[in-house]
Structure 1
């Protein structure tokens, strides 16, 4: 089954059995947005550098979320930075739409409950473990020395930016993760794409964490 890089990220970011989110929302939401933007880059729809995102090919990909983002980028005359794009794109609504889509296609199960009988909670346990298993197998092969394709490298870079790598791949070689995340293995164009996606995700996660900390301190 074909899933987006953002959906692969979400599978890795939830526990298999209980479907609980295993990293903070302030880390996950910018990372999900970064994964969508990076997918447009690896499919040659946009060019991604640290300073700007520019359209290369406005042809839709046939995915609702990716095509909506592509249309928004194409509609703007002045190029914006990846970090700016992520700041506008990231949201709990986007995350929920992608999780719901995974549930609709039978990859996850949506389970509603409450905490202390008062606070609603949604869990996303796996219904079809084979999808995440394939993702983990692909990533694990790269982390143990296989040559990565751009799509897998981008996923690893964003997983690393969100500090999810230690939880999703606890036994992975940290040096190898960093090597992939920096694009050191790749040609110039691919390396720039990976570096830009990684930098944008880190910037957005840092900004979100800072905002959450400020709000907590002022409450």
Structure 2
């Protein structure tokens, strides 16, 4: 099955049985935004301007080629154009658009039979929607590809390297591969993330996801300490 990078990350981030994310909602939305940005750059639809291409130096620029057929991806491309990476990740990874991106991806995977939409009640009172696995095969294929890169049995291509970088940024490696040696996985993931697997635009996208994760975590810690 042909999956986008954001769909691949989402499948790995959701618990197969409960259908609930194994990271916070904010981190999940930021990672999905980063995955969307990374895919657009890997496909050549998005670049970081050097100032000599008619754009403003250091800002994302729609390259005018490899325009995605998916309407949400086209909307993301339009939103990213002429934005600095930090502003870009905030625009599509937080607030209403971030929630809509996540919802669109979940519904799309459910429509294709990969996930199953379920309504459950927390504490028997509060209704929430969960997305447990329905067809495990697509996720299993992604999991196998990522693990092969992490264990060195296969080279990591651009999309796999981006996915590994996002799993590392959101501290999901140990949850996705609990049977593997945690330290060895993290060490190899850091090597992949630091390697020359992508151009400047992808690197900037992943870097801004990392920075946004830290900012969200620090803000949450500050709010908790002030309320105690």
**Does TM-score exceed 0.5, indicating one fold?**
yes
1:158 to partner: Cα distance: 1.0
Q: Secondary structure at the match of 1:197?
A: helix
Residue 117 of structure 1 corresponds to 124
Quote how far apart the aligned CAs of 1:211 are.
3.6
Rounded to whole Å, the distance in 2 between the matches of 1:152 and 1:59 is 20
Flag the 1:156–1:118 CA change in 2: closer, same or farther, 3 A. same
Say if 1:29 and 1:92, in contact at 8 Å, map to a contact too.
yes
Q: Which runs of 4+ in 1 moved over 6 A?
A: none
State the match for 1:25 in structure 2: 25
CA distance in 2, matches of 1:191, 1:180: 14
Answer 1 or 2: higher relative contact order, Cα 8 Å, separation at least 6.
Answer: 1
Q: Does 1:165 align with 2:177?
A: no
Per-residue CA shift, 1:161-212, capped at 9, x if unaligned? 1111121123152211001112x153xxx15344323211111112223344
For 1:173 and 1:113, the matched residues in 2 are separated by 34
| C-alpha distance in 1 between matches for 2:185 and 2:66 | 38
Q: How has the CA–CA distance of structure 1 residues 142 and 48 changed in structure 2, closer, same or farther, with 3 Å as cutoff? A: farther
1:180 matched to 2:192? The reply is: yes
Correspondence for 1:4: 4
User: Residue 94 of structure 1: CA displacement?
Assistant: 1.7
RMSD: 2.1
Partner of 1:80: 83
Q: What corresponds to 1:39 in structure 2? A: 39
Deviates more, 1:6-15 or 1:52-61: 52-61
Deviations 1:35-90 (A, max 9, x none): 0011100000111489432222255311122111112234xxxx322221110101
Any unmatched runs of 5+ in structure 2?
50-56
> Residue 142 of structure 2 corresponds to which residue in structure 1?
135
Task: Give the paired residue count.
Answer: 211
* Distance of 1:157 and 1:39 partners within structure 2: 13
1:61-72 paired onto structure 2 within 5 Å = 61-72=68-79
Q: Counterparts of 1:62 and 1:23 in 2: how far apart (Å)?
A: 29
Q: Counterpart of 2:14 in 1: which secondary structure?
A: coil
Deviations 1:122-174 (A, max 9, x none): 11111110110010011111111121111111111111111111211231522
* 1:94 corresponds to: 101
- CA distance in 1 between counterparts of 2:225 and 2:159 reads 39
Confirm or deny: 8 A CA contact 2:42 2:202 kept in the other structure: no
Q: Which sections of structure 1, spanning at least 5 residues, go unmatched?
A: none
